[in-house]
Structure 1
């Protein structure tokens, strides 16, 4: 289907390509490949294992042992199915290569010498950071604008986000399995779709549609009801299945699932993933800029949601580089206090634990989690967990702090009703604290290569056209006149939400299934309205956008997560619970919208 210089021939396959996900992160359900192989027929299996901080952990393993650095349990997952994959003519694409895709490719060849294994490399730029800086690339932090040289932390991993054209080229060379490192999550879908349909590098709308489909299925069961705020209305939530994207030649798609599996695919489960971990209506990808605000969803049958209307434009000239370094160490324990007078008890604990801290201890964060019931029916309704976290640049400072010893010494001299879980030991060993530095590099400065089964190397050129584009600006809604009849109720009684992390920023998307509620939601969730509802964000820079086709309001809460999910001191380190917290807030809702709600 492809010419030697990677310009596509006319497509020879008219039907949509069926791409099935089998992993959304490192630690997802181990049996997912078993389920995918036993499910409905598909053309391509794709597995996403790399959250941003996962590469840092794999990098540490790689430095200790150069033969490692990839997701080893992927081998155990796929081993029983290699013969069937070959027999069915299926393709497998995964970023389980992590920090060492060549190592994983070699291990797969040992398991099944008959399969053609290719790998994509070039994303690992840790050894080139000094070269980049010497040549004028300051690798400025995306949030602060400061150059990497000002960080004060030694980088331990640096990976540039690659697009899907290396994957497409490998498949065009008849690879059965393509192993990647840090390609974008959606590239695992875009690459196979571009190969299958023979798209050109500038088929912007088709590419944008594939990126949207890839974004929906990249987090596995998310699109099938997992982590969905309407989970109580989803049938068979015990084990929600993994999604399938049927991507057509024009880039439109249908999201579905294996018929035998649990969960459901609805407009709302798909919307939940579309508003997850984005920065706004312009979704930037190394291959295309996706205009998510043009996308439309419709229910196309049971467990079938159609994505249409997605438009695209040239990608930006740069791609993101995720740099990680060890900021220091941390240690965390949880203890408990019992009502009454929880506030006074926590304050005394804070003073006692923090007394005479050793030199070198940086932060001592003591956070009560929740409140006791006013008139508790059980002892546990009167109990409040208290999370105690200490950090230090030097591990030895935390050992000298002896947090378990400090906590254990308080039983006879602190507050009544203070205890720790007798079923477990207090943690004594510090763990590494990883900091995150998001930066940009010109795509022309990042090598993008495919290494084929026979050892040949294919260079993947940067995009033929790029464009710098900003997110659209949506005016704040005017203060709407109050409805005649309102009811104070949780926002979640009429709205769904999904939140996640983008480095040090948390995003949250809120939408309503009922068209009648859209004007009310838009007016209620102004930036000022959000600040009133969430005291934690009142001093943050907040970016607000609207998605009328999805009936959604989207916010980026800049700096809520510090410099990144792996280093901030919040209990909800990566912002996954912000959406549900917002849904728990009570707001004034027109009574006509609350009919039939609890």
Structure 2
């Protein structure tokens, strides 16, 4: 392991659609060794798969990345900064070629490499023939029982393909579906000379990568304490400083808005996890060992982090079209909102019930009593229909518009919003498992040289990666107290993993931890969130973070790209919980 100074990795994208000017901002900010951009969320992959299938000649990569990067290639070359991104999508080789064209036009000598091996859609028949069932991660059902034809299947690769490309002299590395954290692990492994058996160091890099992968998520964006964040109107992007032992410091560009605190880092640590064992292709991270400390303004240190061998299986994101959908937003005004929504539902079922496969009518919010304005009395109603065939949904626009003169009083829509006329594809998600040993993970250099990514000497057993079971706390029966909103004492952040939603709740004040831990039992959670009463819940505790974490199995159906919830990927679950009232002892401080 090297004795080099910590590598500084600056994020410039957390998803497809993030701030376009981020690369420019990062280059104008504090020095970094590597610029890292993440574009490929599960929902993004679903949409990109559809676009690629319809227009393969347009390429399956994130074209906007080329426009982001092109004006800054000269500065990147001058400063010797490396660039790593998964914007290659379904065609990293095509994106690498396009980037080489931009480099040549600029008269530069930057070397561009790509990582391949994640795209498995062409190997599915081979896997079936060899007896690999690609079992669903949540249901254990074999892929052959899905009943639809996949259009995309991509393995979540680790960081060593990126590391090998950088070791071979690449300046820019583009990938397809690697794990989000791999975009940080790869550069750190290259910089410090790690091997695939350096599990503690790799686990530390995975942890740092998990925190900075979502951009401003770590600097105050989407943070339940947003009112305390300076410059929240335009929060800056994070930087991870990763040392040779895997310990790290999370910070940000000093000139930019936002902040980095123990709470903003905790928010990202509990985001989109399945429990204390955070499984990654390069290491299994024991998140319960993570400790955070503020070591300066906008500087949070992470150490120690315990790692162990990675799982023997790789996760594969499989997508398939399952039909079409169409939706619109209507509005009703009090009084009698409940009756008006019921009438709308009944009328639409009469018109469409025998035509479409699913029809969902959801009222959002409630009207204020004695409303001061018309808008305080107005409730939005989201109407969505799905069908296996596009033609089944052709009647939807006319059915909705036919109710203006025969529906509930005050029936209207936003006259300034374009009405939905054409259905759009509905894509379902299948999180599969595949033995990692069958993957072909490699870097491809600009001269055609192919370098295989190294693998660890051993992988974990099932027992080593199993999530720990934490006993339910023995909460004392309530003996009185005061009622407060949970959000007055606790922060929260929620995320999605396929059909599961997760939410972590934590307290900043150590004096509140025992109360939070004993209050947020599984039964109490079901009371706070009635939608979860019939779901399987998994509960975990993170004492170092003063956090209680829940996984809500199946809240999101089979995935964000296909379920009909208005909060499609569960991002507001945490804020909903914070809005609920709970009982606290009279003597609880704060």
- Using structure 1 for the length normalisation, give the TM-score: 0.96
Compute the displacement of 1:361 (Å).
1.1
For residues 94-151 of structure 1, give each alpha carbon's deviation from its aligned partner in whole angstroms, at most 9, with x where no partner exists. Answer: 0000000001100111111311001000000001011101101001111111111111
Residue 412 of structure 1 pairs with residue 405 of structure 2: yes
Residue 571 of structure 1 pairs with residue 566 of structure 2: yes
Question: Structure 2 residue aligned with 1:88, among 79, 87, 110?
Answer: 79
Question: Structure 2 residue aligned with 1:108, among 87, 90, 99?
Answer: 99
Compute the displacement of 1:594 (Å).
5.6
> What secondary structure is seen at the aligned counterpart in 2 of 1:58?
helix
Which is worse superposed, 61-70 or 551-560? 61-70
Q: How does 1:181-192 map to 2 (within 5 A)?
A: 181-192=176-187
Cα distance in structure 2, aligned partners of 1:54 and 1:99: 12
Query: Is the CA contact (8 Å cut-off) linking 2:215 and 2:238 kept in structure 1?
Result: yes
Cα distance in structure 2, aligned partners of 1:185 and 1:477: 34
- Alignment partner, residue 361 of structure 2: 366
For residues 197-222 of structure 1, give each alpha carbon's deviation from its aligned partner in whole angstroms, at most 9, with x where no partner exists. Answer: 11121111111000000000000000
Query: Is the CA contact (8 Å cut-off) linking 1:494 and 1:593 kept in structure 2?
Result: no
For the aligned residue pairs, the C-alpha RMSD in angstroms reads 1.2
- Alignment partner, residue 191 of structure 2: 196
Cα distance in structure 2, aligned partners of 1:313 and 1:456: 32
Query: Is the CA contact (8 Å cut-off) linking 2:352 and 2:396 kept in structure 1?
Result: no
Q: How does 1:281-292 map to 2 (within 5 A)?
A: 281-292=276-287
Residue 228 of structure 1 pairs with residue 223 of structure 2: yes
Query: Is the CA contact (8 Å cut-off) linking 2:353 and 2:359 kept in structure 1?
Result: no
Query: Is the CA contact (8 Å cut-off) linking 1:359 and 1:397 kept in structure 2?
Result: no
Residue 60 of structure 1 pairs with residue 50 of structure 2: yes
Cα distance in structure 2, aligned partners of 1:56 and 1:569: 15
Cα distance in structure 1, aligned partners of 2:171 and 2:338: 60
For residues 519-575 of structure 1, give each alpha carbon's deviation from its aligned partner in whole angstroms, at most 9, with x where no partner exists. Answer: 110111110000011100000000000000000000000000000001001000000
Cα distance in structure 1, aligned partners of 2:57 and 2:254: 42
Q: How does 1:4-403 map to 2 (within 5 A)?
A: 11=2, 14-63=4-53, 64-66=55-57, 68-113=59-104, 114-357=109-352, 359-399=354-394, 402-403=395-396
Compute the displacement of 1:14 (Å).
2.0
Cα distance in structure 2, aligned partners of 1:410 and 1:446: 55
- Alignment partner, residue 427 of structure 2: 434
Cα distance in structure 1, aligned partners of 2:51 and 2:345: 37
Query: Is the CA contact (8 Å cut-off) linking 1:513 and 1:551 kept in structure 2?
Result: yes
Q: 1:302 to 1:591 in 2, by over 3 A?
A: farther
> What secondary structure is seen at the aligned counterpart in 2 of 1:53?
helix
Compute the displacement of 1:66 (Å).
4.2
- Alignment partner, residue 476 of structure 1: 472
Unaligned runs of 5+ in 1: 1-9
- Using structure 2 for the length normalisation, give the TM-score: 0.97
- Alignment partner, residue 525 of structure 1: 520
Cα distance in structure 2, aligned partners of 1:59 and 1:434: 9
Query: Is the CA contact (8 Å cut-off) linking 1:67 and 1:103 kept in structure 2?
Result: no
> What secondary structure is seen at the aligned counterpart in 1 of 2:144?
helix
Compute the displacement of 1:375 (Å).
1.5
Query: Is the CA contact (8 Å cut-off) linking 2:62 and 2:88 kept in structure 1?
Result: yes
> What secondary structure is seen at the aligned counterpart in 2 of 1:546?
strand
Unaligned runs of 5+ in 2: none
For residues 479-531 of structure 1, give each alpha carbon's deviation from its aligned partner in whole angstroms, at most 9, with x where no partner exists. Answer: 225366x2211100000000010000000000000101111101111100000
Compute the displacement of 1:420 (Å).
1.0
Cα distance in structure 2, aligned partners of 1:464 and 1:236: 47
Instruction: Tell me how many residue pairs correspond in the alignment.
Output: 582
Cα distance in structure 2, aligned partners of 1:542 and 1:76: 44
